Amino acid sequence: MQTPSGFLLIDKPAGMTSFGVVARVRRQLSEQAGKKVKVGHTGTLDPFATGLMIIVVGDYCKRAAEFSKLDKSYEATACLGAISTTGDPEGEIMSVPGPEPTRDRIEAVLPQFTGVIQQTPPIYSAIKIDGKRAYKLAREGKQIDMPRRTITVYSLQLTNYAYPQMQFTCHVSSGTYIRTLTQDIATALGTTGYTLQLRRTQVGKWSIANAISPEAISFDSLIVL
């Protein structure tokens, strides 16, 4: 009997790696099928982040690129007045005294980061440099020259602000790093910042509202286009 193919909408919890999600899906589906099932992801989420991951199963693994190229939406919380070596809560964090931006100042700066812009990805990322993951080179203490890339920010909206925390939502093109976006916004405000919380809410037309937890996986949950 042929193993069913399709994709799953998974709500990744904080603390789990994207590869951990793939491993759990593979293990559970393989146990249900009684044989090894091919499983892959269509774009990683940092361990501290939560939210929507599209996991491809069986023959749909060949279509992973279709999903990875889709636009994405996020809810993010930035912590201003501090820096992190990784740009998120998992790095070494240091307070950096500086100005406390007003809400009006933030609202005035955000339009600079909408539309087509340039971005330098963080060194702690899964991007390959000379065949090796950038985060592995960073952990080895290697000097890394990260190439700048062109991304598109379709929308960027401040949703709440109580210094030092700044909450915003954004709809961005594939390949956008929210950790970098946070740092660049903080720099434009004359201060520092890192991404404290991050939740992916949408990938293309697929919403987190229709996602399931990794524990609830079954072949009945597969979506087929």
3 state SS of 21: helix
Three-state DSSP class for 202? strand
DSSP 3: P
Is the Cβ–Cβ distance between 138 and 90 less than 8 Å? Answer: no
Residue 148's pLDDT is 80
pTM (predicted TM-score):
0.90
Burial level of 63, CB count in 10 A (0-12/13-18/19+)?
Answer: middle
Cβ atoms of 76 and 197 within 8 Å: the answer is: yes
Phi, psi of 101 (to 5 degrees): -65, 145
Side-chain-side CA neighbours of 143 within 13 Å: the count stands at 0
Query: What is the predicted pLDDT for the residue at 179?
Result: 94
pLDDT recorded at residue 144 = 64
Residue 150, class by beta-carbon neighbours within 10 Å (0-12 exposed, 13-18 middle, 19+ buried)?
exposed
Residue 116 half-sphere exposure toward CB, CA atoms < 13 A: 1
d(C-alpha 58, C-alpha 93), whole Å: 41
pLDDT for 117: 96
Would you kindly state where each structural domain of the chain is located, as residue ranges? 6-69+205-221, 72-203
Q: Going residue by residue through the chain (225 aa), what tens digit of pLDDT does each one get?
A: 578 899 999 999 999 999 999 999 999 999 999 999 999 999 889 999 999 999 999 999 999 999 999 999 999 999 999 999 889 999 999 999 889 999 999 999 999 999 999 998 765 555 555 556 555 555 656 666 667 889 999 999 999 999 999 999 999 999 999 999 999 999 999 999 999 999 999 999 999 999 999 989 999 999 998
What pLDDT score does 3 carry?
80
DSSP of 118-173, one letter per residue?
A: EE---SSSS-EETTEEHHHHHHTT----PPPEEEEEEEEEEEEEETTEEEEEEEE-
The pLDDT assigned to 133 comes to 57
Residues 189 and 207: their CA atoms lie apart, in Å, by 32
Structure tokens of 107?
Answer: 């609202």
Q: How far apart are CA 124 and CA 89, in angstroms?
A: 13
CATH of the domain spanning 72-203, picked from 3.30.2350.10, 3.40.50.970, 3.30.1360.10, 3.30.70.3280:
3.30.2350.10
Beta-carbon contacts of 156 under 8 Å, excluding residues fewer than 6 positions away, are: 110, 111, 113, 114, 168, 169, 170
Annotated active-site positions, please? 46
CATH 3.40.50.10810 correct for 6-69+205-221 = no
Tell me if domain 6-69+205-221 and domain 72-203 are identical in fold.
Answer: yes
